[in-house]
Structure formats: C-alpha cells, structure tokens
Amino acid sequence: MTRDAVAVLGIGIMGAAMARNLAAAGLSTTVWDRSPEATAPLTAAGVAVAASPQEAVADARVVITMLPTAEAVESVIVTGRVAEAFDRGAVWAQMGTIGIEATTRLETELRRLRPDVTFVDAPVSGSKGPAEAGQLLILASGSPDAEPVVRPAFAAIGRKTVWLGEAGKGTAMKIVVNAYMSAMIEAVAEALQLAGDLGIDSAALAEVIEGGPLDAPIAIAKLHKMQSGDYAPEFPLEWALKDVDLAVASVAVDRLPLLEALARQWRFAVDAGHGRQDVSAARLALGL
C-alpha cells in the first residue's frame, strides 16, 4: 500500500473532477471506468488509468467509488469481486448517492468479505463547478478511525467535511439536502412558467430576486440557465430524479406529497429524452 495512494472508480462529471484535484494535490491517483473514453483525458493531469477496477485498488490506501447507482456499486465491488482486491487496511469511501438501505447493505457485505477494510459513507453535495474547483461539501459518516486516513483525499476534493456519526447518516443527510435543492429548482421552473403566462419578462424576474432574501445561489444560477436555454449538464436531471426517488422511498407513502408530485413531473422530462441534460431541464417538463 502506498501511503497517499487513492483509487477512484467511476469517472463521470464528478469522478473526473475529483481525480484531477487529487492528482493536483500530489496524491498518487489511479482511476477506472467502464468507458475508456472517460478516463483517457486524465492522463495529461498525471492520473494513472487502470485496465480493471482490481488493478486500480490494489495499492490504494483510499478507494473512492463515484458510481451512479447502488446496482452499479454492487456490480463492481461485490459481484465483480473488487472488495477482494482491496489492500489490507484500506478505507473504502462510498461517495455516490445510492440510498440508505443500499449503503447499510454494502457496509454489512464489506464487513463479511473484508473485515480488515473500513467503510466510510461520504456522499458529496455540489455539482460540476464545485467539483472542478475542489469545493465540494463532504457528508461523511462511519468509523472515527477512518478520518485521518481519508483526510488528505477529502481535503483535495472538498471545501469542508462534516462527520455525522455512524455509516448511513451521510447518505441520509445527502437525501435531505437534495430534496431541498430539488424543490427549489422546481419552484424556479414553475415561477418562470407563471411569469411567462402572466406576461412578465424573465429578466425582470431575475432582477427582482437577485440581491434580495430569495436570492439562493443555486436557484438564481438555475434560473439563468433556464432563461438562456442552457441545459449543458452540471448535475444531470436523471440523477436528480434518482435522488428524489430515494427520498420518497425512504419514508412512508404520502409523507412527502410535494416530492412525489415533483418526481412524476421530472419523469416526464426524463422519459422525453432530457435525462442527460442538466437538472434545469425541469423547465422543459412544463411544456410536455
């Protein structure tokens, strides 16, 4: 095991930014993704590309998974037997948003397969811009013994790490935070729809909101993206919908009526082919 070696499995928008920042911080960084075209650009940043996930994790002190779903994580780590390739004493930081039940199940499975490896549940709050700037908020939970081990890697990719207790609490907090964010973004989309129906110019709406008590940074950023029709992905709509579905599934039926309605609305847009676009494409669902 190399002291500061980090492996990143899953090189999408977030994983690629994390890998670049880890390498820039001087940490020995190796990546793997199912798609070679996703990893190829990282070599210029000093990142090593592994041919397999087993190769990527072999000498890593910290293994980060940034895969989109619980099924993807399980297929790589458990079914793909990557857990068996972890170096002795490594820490696995599961940083994608996969839900509370799946997080608990994976921690239990890791304990069975590799009791010498420590599991940290550490989803991140932030999208493309903060990820590229190394300014993510890390919602960590798990054994306190893991904190000094993951500290250099977390410092390279995040502006702040909040430790929340036992594994699963980080994921619970992430689901709550993303529910809050999703409701805000849908409110922006519907406010723009209402403004248009009432003959209010969207630029005037933005002028009224900016600088006032309603000027939440993410809300105004998404308002401007919707105004300009810029749906280039920062946080894809399909993954935002996944997180809303996780929130709804985590509680009893009818406990979250607004989020249940929002999920139905966003599913229209995803089914219409807008899932890979930014979450601001929620605006497009109002025309379907």
Shared domain for 112 and 15, answered yes or no, is yes
Q: pLDDT of 162-208, one tens digit each?
A: 999 999 999 999 999 999 999 999 999 999 999 999 999 999 999 99
Shared domain for 208 and 104, answered yes or no, is no
Write down the pLDDT at residue 1.
60
Domain boundary at 165, 182, 214, which? 165
What is the domain-level CATH number for residue 111?
3.40.50.720
Question: For residue 196, is it within any domain?
Answer: yes
Write down the pLDDT at residue 4.
87
Beta-ladder partners of 91: 62, 118
List 128, 160, 169, 174, catalytic entry = 174
Burial class (CB in 10 A: 0-12, 13-18, 19+), 218: middle
The residue segments making up the domain with residue 86 are 6-165
Domain boundary at 143, 165, 187, which? 165
Write down the pLDDT at residue 287.
77
Shared domain for 159 and 227, answered yes or no, is no
Question: For residue 1, is it within any domain?
Answer: no
Asked if 128 is an active-site residue, the reply is no
Shared domain for 123 and 215, answered yes or no, is no
> Residue ranges of the chain with pLDDT lower than 70?
1-2, 288
Shared domain for 34 and 93, answered yes or no, is yes
Tokens of 248: 């709804």
Shared domain for 67 and 153, answered yes or no, is yes
Shared domain for 134 and 63, answered yes or no, is yes
DSSP letter for each residue of 156-219? HHEEEEEE-SSTTHHHHHHHHHHHHHHHHHHHHHHHHHHHHHTT--HHHHHHHHTTSTT--HHH
pTM over 0.95: no
Write down the pLDDT at residue 288.
59
Shared domain for 192 and 268, answered yes or no, is yes
- Structural domain total, the chain: 2
Q: pLDDT of 67-89, one tens digit each?
A: 999 999 999 999 999 999 999 99
